[in-house]
Every structure is written in C-alpha cells, then in structure tokens.
C-alpha cells in the first residue's frame, strides 16, 4: 500500500486548544498573584486604606448619631456604606497601576505576550476584587462596634462585597483604559465616585430627598448594592427609621434581583473594558 509523502514545508503550526486555554489561565493567575503580592507587601497602604472607612464609622457615625439621639443605631445604618468605601479603594489602585504601567512601558510588555487581552483584563479585575474583599473582611470584623451581631449570615455579606469589589475594579479598569494621564484619572474617578456614594442611601436616608434627587438615587447602581448589603446584615439594620431602600411601584425589589443588577453592571463594564483594551492599546 503506497504511503503518501507529506512535505514539511506544507505543514502549518497550530497551537492546541488545551495549550491556549492553559496559557490564558496562567496569565490570569500571574496577574491575580501580582495584585495579592502588592497587597501583602505594602502594609502601610493597607492601614491607610482602612483609615477613611473607620473615621466615617467611628467619628461621623458617633457624632451624627449622638446629635440625633441614636448613636448605635446610626452606626448600624452607616455600616453598609463604610463597607463599600473599604472595597472601592483597591479598585482605584488597580486603575492607577494600569495608567502607571502604560507610562512606564510595562503595559506594552504585557500586551506583546502571546495571551488574549481579555485574560489580562480578567486577571487585573480578579486581583483587585480579591484585595477589595480582604479590605471588606477587615472592616466586617468591626461589625460589633456598629451594633451588628456576629452571625454566620456575615459570610453572605462577604460574598456580596466580593461582587461589589469586582464591579468597582471592572469600572476602574474601564476608566484606566479610556484615560491616559494619571492626573486626569484621579480627578475623574473621584468626581464620579463621590456623587455615586452620596446618592446611594449609604450616608443618609434617601426618603426625604426631593423628587429629582429620588430619581437619581433609584438610577444609581450603588443604591442596590447598599440596600442588598443592609438587608443581608443580621440584626435590625434594615429596619431602622429611614433605611428604606429603592422602591419599584411601591414595592422593594428582591435582594436577588438587586445582586443580579450589580452583577450585570460588572459584566457590562468588563466586556466594554476588554473591547476598548483590545482596540486602543
């Protein structure tokens, strides 16, 4: 039986799908570990990142609570907003690191690696989400100071914080992809996050706001993150006066739906960031 001769010049090198998948996972793991190493080696940054949330909880919460005659109650009301402040700091840090890497030329070295750019974005987002969750866990340990009882239900709150941290990181990466200068990035991100936090019902009850501000509160995605965390926390945080969350046709949306809304925002931010990352760099 004749054997067909195949010339070596006709052969085409094709990478196996399994090898490509392993390279993608390895790239995600490397970038995820990079963020964790940054988190572990810079203990001063970790300590400073917890100062602002603790100042809001212990100083602002105690002061305003004493003025209103509900000191412990107002700290319980403020606690979900303090958790959000804790997890948003690493997201901004990841975005700043991308801008710095671009200016230093390190980002270009990552982009020439034989991996999909979506893997780079996913690794950065997972790293920021993990460090943000660790920040949130450190603040969650102080639940007793805010009058929140220690209960296994806090693990559900930690899972919600992980989703919120991933959402913040994806939005930070999207901003870093669109903004090239470090000075502009810091100004834009601070201007964007401040009204989102204030109009989320985290700092004060939104029930007494004018109609136009009430519309802004309902359109704010952080409103649903704060309300989901507040309703998941054990104790009476969700039943305090003024702690009513967003209303859809005079009914409170289910917590699962609020979490789904935040997850949808994270998916959209991740998809847009990946697309812009592939086109502009």
Q: What is the pLDDT of residues 24-63, one digit of tens each?
A: 888 888 888 888 888 778 777 778 777 888 888 888 877 7
Write the CB contacts of 207 (distance below 8 Å, at least 6 apart in sequence): 242, 244
* pLDDT value for 6: 43
What confidence score (pLDDT) does residue 15 get?
55
Band (pLDDT 50/70/90 cuts) for residue 3 is: very low
Q: How many CB atoms lie within 10 A of CB 231?
A: 17
Mean pLDDT of 66-80: 75
Q: What is the pTM of this model?
A: 0.82
Token pair for residue 254?
């289910």
Judge whether 144 and 150 are in contact, CB under 8 Å: yes
Q: Work out the mean pLDDT of the chain and round it to a whole number.
A: 80
What is the arithmetic mean of pLDDT over 85-89? 84
Residue 17 has pLDDT above 70, yes or no: no
Residues found in the chain: 281
In this prediction, residue 4 carries a pLDDT of 44
When pLDDT is cut at 50, 70 and 90, the band that residue 157 belongs to is very high
Residue 69 pLDDT grade (very low, low, confident, very high; cuts 50, 70, 90): low
Would you tell me the crossing angle of helices 71-104 and 117-140 to the nearest 10 degrees?
Answer: 150
Structure tokens at 203: 């700092």
Which residue has 């989320």 as its token pair?
Answer: 200
């Amino acid at each position: 039986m004749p054997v067909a001769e195949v010339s070596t010049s006709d052969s085409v090198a094709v990478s196996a799908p399994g090898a490509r998948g392993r390279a993608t996972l390895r790239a995600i793991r490397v970038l995820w570990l990079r963020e964790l190493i940054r988190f572990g080696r810079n203990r001063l940054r970790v300590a400073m990142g917890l100062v602002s949330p603790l100042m809001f909880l212990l100083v602002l919460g105690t002061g305003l609570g004493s003025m209103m005659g509900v000191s412990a109650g107002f700290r319980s009301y403020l606690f979900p907003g303090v958790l959000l402040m804790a997890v948003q700091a690493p997201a901004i840090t990841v975005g700043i690191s991308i801008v710095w890497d671009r200016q230093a030329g390190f980002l270009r070295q990552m982009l020439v690696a034989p991996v999909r750019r979506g893997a780079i974005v996913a690794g950065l987002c997972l790293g920021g989400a993990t460090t943000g969750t660790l920040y949130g866990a450190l603040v969650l340990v102080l639940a007793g100071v805010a009058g929140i009882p220690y209960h296994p239900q806090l693990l559900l709150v930690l899972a919600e914080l992980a989703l919120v941290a991933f959402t913040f990181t994806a939005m930070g990466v999207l901003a870093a992809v669109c903004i090239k200068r470090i000075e502009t990035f810091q100004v834009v991100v601070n201007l964007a996050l401040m009204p989102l936090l204030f109009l989320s019902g985290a700092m004060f009850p939104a029930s007494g706001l004018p109609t136009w501000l009430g519309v802004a509160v309902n359109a704010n995605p952080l409103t649903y993150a704060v309300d989901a965390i507040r309703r998941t926390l054990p104790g009476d945080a969700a039943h305090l006066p003024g702690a009513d969350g967003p209303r859809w046709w005079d009914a409170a949306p289910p917590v699962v739906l609020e979490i789904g809304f935040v997850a949808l925002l994270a998916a959209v931010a991740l998809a847009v960031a990946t697309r812009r990352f592939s086109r502009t760099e």
